[in-house]
Chain A
Amino acid sequence: MAAVSPVTATTAASLTLPQLTSSSSSPFTLNFKTDTLSSRCVRCGVRSLENQSGHRSLDFLSSGDPISLINPNSSSSPISMAASASESGAKCSKRVCLFHSDETRDLAERIVSQSDCIELRSINWKKFDDGFPNLFIQNAQGIRGQHVAFLASFSSPAVIFEQLSVIYALPKLFVSSFTLVLPFFPTGTSERMEDEGDVATAFTLARILSNIPTSRGGPTSLVTFDIHALQERFYFGDTILPCFESGIPLLKNRLQALPDSDNISIAFPDDGAWKRFHKQLQHYPTIVCNKVRMGDKRIVRIKEGDAEGRHVVIVDDLVQSGGTLIECQKVLAAHGAAKISAYVTHGIFPKSSWKRFKLDTKGDPAEGLSYFWITDSCGLTVKEVMNKPPFEVLSLAGTIASALQV
C-alpha cells in the first residue's frame, strides 16, 4: 500500500513522501485534494487502517493551518497539525495573481496553498490546426493594478513559444508588477563555448527573456533556482531583474530531520558543484571528487575528504543521464561510506534515466541510494518518480511563495 499524493508542508516547504517498508505496522494513505481553488479550501482525508477506525477528515482553510511535515517514522501517532507560526496571521506585503503553464499546475497549486496572498489564475491553452497556440487569458481586465506572476517550465523547445506569448502579453495588461518564475533555466548545462561556431542556446534563452516588456512596476523580476553556470547570471540585460534562489535550504531542513543527521558528510562531484554550494553547506564535513584522465578514460576520484563510515550526500544542481552521480557513488562506496544519498535541485532525467537509481535495501551503498532528493522544478519528472523510493520530492512552493512577496 502506497501513499498517494504529495502533501504540502510547513515553512520548510518540504514535501516528503512517506517511505513504507514492508514491516511497517500502520500503513496509511493520505489524500490531498484541492477542490475549487477560488475558495482556497484544502481538504485532507486521513485514514488510519491500523485499527480500522473511522475516517478522520480535516477541513481547514489555508488561511489557518497549513499541513505540516508528515513524519513517516511515527507510525502509531496521528498526524500532528502544527500551525506554522510565520505563515498564519502574517499580513500580505502584496497580493499576487499567479498564472501558470499546463505542466506547472501542480506546483502552482502548492504555491497558492502556502500563502493567503497568492491567488491562482487561469489561461486557456489550446492550439490551432496548424499547431500554433490559441491562447486566452481569462479575466484579463481583473488583473489591472494587480501584482502578477507566471510560473513557467521550459522542459523542451516545443513548449517555449506558447509560454513566451503569454509572458510577453501579461506585463502589458496594466498590471502593477510582473514576475516570471522559471524554477529551472534549461540549456545551460551541456554546451561548451569552445570553438567559434558553437551556438550558445543559454544566451539565446536569456536574450529572449531579457526582451520581456516592462510593466508599470518596472523591469520584470525573474525567479530561478540554482542556475547552472554562475556566469549565466550575467547573460541577462538590465531590462530584467534576476532573483537567484537555491534549493539547498530545503535539503538542509530535510537532513536535520534524519535520524543520523550528525553523521552526514556532503560530497561534491566536481569543483563546479563545490563552487556553487559549499558556502551554503559549510557546517557539514565535505568531500570533493573530480575527474582525472587516465589514458583515454576519465575516472572519478576523491580529491579531498573522508567517506569512511559516513552517510554521504552527493549534492549537485542537476542530473541528466546520472552517469556522474553513479561514478561518484561507486568511488564513495569503495572508500567506506556507510550510506549514500543524493540531492539535485533539478531532476531532468531525460529518457527516464532516473530508473538507474535503486533503493539501498541491504545496507550496500554501492548498489543503491538511501535517498534521492529532487525538487519539483521539473514537473514531468516529479510525476514519474513520485512514490518510487529512493526518490523524495522537496517542494519549492514555500520558497517561491516568499520570493513572490519580494
Chain B
Amino acid sequence: MSENAANSIMETKICKDAIVSELQKKKVHLFYCLECEELARNIAAESDHITLQSINWRSFADGFPNLFINNAHEIRGQHVAFLASFSSPAVIFEQISVIYLLPRLFVASFTLVLPFFPTGSFERMEEEGDVATAFTMARIVSNIPISRGGPTSVVIYDIHALQERFYFADQVLPLFETGIPLLTKRLQQLPESEKIIVAFPDDGAWKRFHKLLDQYSTVVCTKVREGDKRIVRLKEGNPSGCHVVIVDDLVQSGGTLIECQKVLAAHGAAKVSAYVTHGVFPNSSWDRFTHKNNGVEEAFAYFWITDSCPQTVKAIGNKAPFEVLSLAGSIADALQI
C-alpha cells in the first residue's frame, strides 16, 4: 500500500471516529435537592448517560445548613448538573450554597435545572418602591461561578414574563424550555371525535403560547372592568361544541381558570380541561378542582400539570382530574446540550 493510500485510510478513520464521538452523548452527573428526588430518578431513568449523585442535607442547631457533597473527587472532569426547586424562600439558601460550590470542583461543565422560576408571577413594577423579587432571584442565579466549561447553563421551563429572560447577566446561559410539547403529545392521544381547541385566559398567555399551538383553533379570553369587579369575557373564538383546553404557564389560587371555565361553558363548550406547566397551588388550592363525586357535573374533564412543582405533585397524587406530565424526558434531552 502506498504511503498516500495508507494516509488517506488513516484520515478517513480519524474522521469517522470524530463523527462517532460527536454522536456520543455526554455523561452527566445529576445532583438534586431533597424535594426533587422523584423527578431526579425519573430523569436518570430516561438515559443511560445520566447518573444520580448525592448530597447530605442536614442542619446545624441554629437552623443553617450543614451540607456535604459526596464523592466530590469523582466529579472532576465530569459534566455536572443540579436539579433545584425554590418552592419557598426557606429552601433557597441551602440549594444556592451547593449551586455556588459545584462549578468550582474542577467539573467539565455545570448546568442548573430550575424547572419553575418563582417570584415572577405576582409582582407588578408599577411604582418606585416596588421591590422586584424576580430580579433578585435572577441576580442570585447570575452570580453562579463559572466552571471550566464556561458560564453555567440554566434550564427554566415556561418563564412567566417574557422580559424576565433579560434579567440574567452574561455570566450564565439561560435555556428557556417549554412543557407544551408534552401537552400536544397528550392531546393526540385523546379520541379524534372530540374537537379540541385551545383557550388562553388572557393576552399574556396568548403571547406566550399561541405559536406553539397553532395547529389548534383558539379562543382568547380577557378580563374587563365592570365598576369595581373584574369579569372574564370571551374576546375571540367560538368554543361551542368543542373540548376546550385552557392553557397557561402556571396556576396559583385557580380563580382565573375557574372564571374562564364558566364563561366557556356558558358559550356552549362541550368539555373543558386545563393545562398549566407549573401547578403552584399555594395553600392546597388544587382542592378546588378535584372531582368530588357528589353527582354534580364536574367542571374540568382533565387538569394537566407537569412535575416542576414537586410538593404539589406529592400532595395531589392521582386525584382526578389531575394528570401529571413529566418533564423528565425533556430535561434529559436538555442536559445533552
Contacts and interface: CB of A to CB of B under 8 A. Distances in A.
A32 to B, nearest CB: 30
Interface stretch (A72-80, A90-98, A162-170): A162-170
Contacts of A244: none
A321 B129 contact: no
Given A128-B122, A130-B118, A134-B123, A199 B65 contact: yes
Contact of A165 (B66, B100, B131): B131
Given A130-B280, A132-B89, A161-B136, A201 B131 contact: no
Interface in A173-212: 173, 186-187, 189-191, 195-201, 203-205, 207-208, 211
B119 A132 contact: yes
B129 A140 contact: yes
Contacts of A186: 62, 64
Given A199-B68, A208-B143, A169 B101 contact: no
A161 B131 CA distance: 12
A136 B67 CA distance: 34
B63 A135 contact: no
B89 A207 contact: no
5 contacts: A156-B90, A168-B136, A173-B128, A197-B72, A348-B62
Interface of A: 128-141, 155-162, 164-166, 168-169, 173, 186-187, 189-191, 195-201, 203-205, 207-208, 211, 320-321, 348, 350-351, 353
Interface residues of B, number: 51
A158 B90 CA distance: 4
A321 B60 CA distance: 11
Contacts, number: 149
A198 B122 CA distance: 37
Contacts of A207: 100, 143
B14 interface: no
B136 A199 contact: no
Interface stretch (B2-10, B34-42, B91-99, B183-191): B91-99
A201 B283 contact: no
Contact of A132 (B71, B72, B133): B133
B130 A136 contact: yes
Contacts of B93: 157, 160-161, 201, 204-205
Contacts of B66: 190-191
B290 interface: no
A189 B60 CA distance: 10
B67 to A, nearest CB: 4
Interface in B50-83: 60-73
Contacts of A130: 88, 118, 121-122, 252, 280, 282
Contacts of A208: 96, 140, 143
B139 interface: yes
B85 to A, nearest CB: 13
A102 to B, nearest CB: 14
- Scoring A130, A158, A162 by chain B CB atoms within 10 A of each residue's CB, the highest score goes to A130
A204 B144 CA distance: 10
Contacts of A320: 61-62
B135 interface: yes
Nearest to B102: A199
Given A130-B122, A132-B122, A199-B65, 13 more contacts: A131-B89, A132-B133, A140-B127, A141-B128, A156-B63, A157-B63, A157-B92, A168-B135, A196-B73, A197-B71, A199-B68, A200-B101, A201-B65
A199 B69 contact: yes
B231 interface: no
Contacts of B67: 198-199, 201
B45 interface: no
B238 interface: no
A130 B134 CA distance: 14
Given A204-B96, A208-B143, A161 B64 contact: no
Nearest to B89: A161
B132 interface: yes
Nearest to A124: B129
Interface string B218-255: 00000000000000000000000000000000001100
A12 to B, nearest CB: 29
A350 B61 contact: yes
A155 B62 CA distance: 8
A134 B122 contact: yes
A160 B101 contact: no
B299 interface: no
Contacts of B69: 197, 199
B282 A350 contact: no
B92 to A, nearest CB: 5
B324 interface: no
A106 B143 CA distance: 33
